[in-house]
Amino acid sequence: MLNCPNCGQQNPAGSAFCSNCGAQLQMYVPPKKNGLPIPAIIGICIAVVVLIFGGLYMLGGNDPEYKTADKLELADIVGTWRLVDESKKDTMTEEIKISEDEITTDSGEKIAARYSTVTDEDTVIISDTNNIFTANMVELRLEKRKVNGIEHVVLAVYNSSDDSWGYYVRK
C-alpha cells in the first residue's frame, strides 16, 4: 500500500496517482549501494591470502627440491652450502662450495671428483683419488631434516676420514 503525500489516502501498490486527489505517488527507491558485494570482497581476500602464502612458500627457503629422479648428481647440488648441524663437534667445515667437478671448503681445501658412483638413487659418493681403496670418501645426499624446528631439505655430507656427518642448507 502506498500513502498519498498530499492527502494521506492509502492507494493500492503499484498505483502511479492517488485515487482520492490525483497527486502523483512516488514509490520508495532504495539508495544505490556503492562498492563491491560481500562475496566479491571475500573472494578477493582469499585470493590475496593464497598469493601471499604461495609466494612465501616458493621464495621462503632456498632449499633445493627433494630429488626423486633416477639418481642424484653433483649438478643437482651445485652452489654454496652452510653448516647447520654435525654429528661430531668441530669436524665439519662451516661452508662448502660445490661445482660440477669439485667441492671446496671454506679453508680452501678442494676435493676433485675423480671417482664418483651412485650407491642408490639418492646418494653420490666421490673420492679424491682414482684408487677407491685408499681414497678419502665423501658421501653426499639430500634428505629431509628439521633445522631449528623447521623441516628443510638438507645436504647430508659424510666424511670417511673423520667418520662424521654434517648437515648443510643452501646459502
Does any domain span residue 65? no
Parent domain of 96:
74-170
Domain count of the chain? 2
Does any domain span residue 78? yes
Q: What is the pLDDT of residues 1-59, one digit of tens each?
A: 778 888 888 888 878 888 899 888 876 667 777 777 888 889 999 999 999 888 777 66
Does any domain span residue 15? yes
Whether 81 and 16 map to the same domain: the answer is no
Residue 150 CA to residue 17 CA, distance in Å, equals: 75
Does any domain span residue 51? no
Does any domain span residue 148? yes
Q: What is the pLDDT of residues 152-164, one digit of tens each?
A: 778 888 877 778 8
Residue 5 CA to residue 2 CA, distance in Å, equals: 9
Whether 82 and 160 map to the same domain: the answer is yes
**CATH number of the CATH domain containing 100:** 2.40.128
Does any domain span residue 10? yes
159: nearest Cα among 97, 100, 64, 88 = 88
Q: Give the pTM.
A: 0.49
Does any domain span residue 49? no
Whether 25 and 83 map to the same domain: the answer is no
Whether 78 and 26 map to the same domain: the answer is no
Please name the residue ranges forming H helices in the chain.
38-60
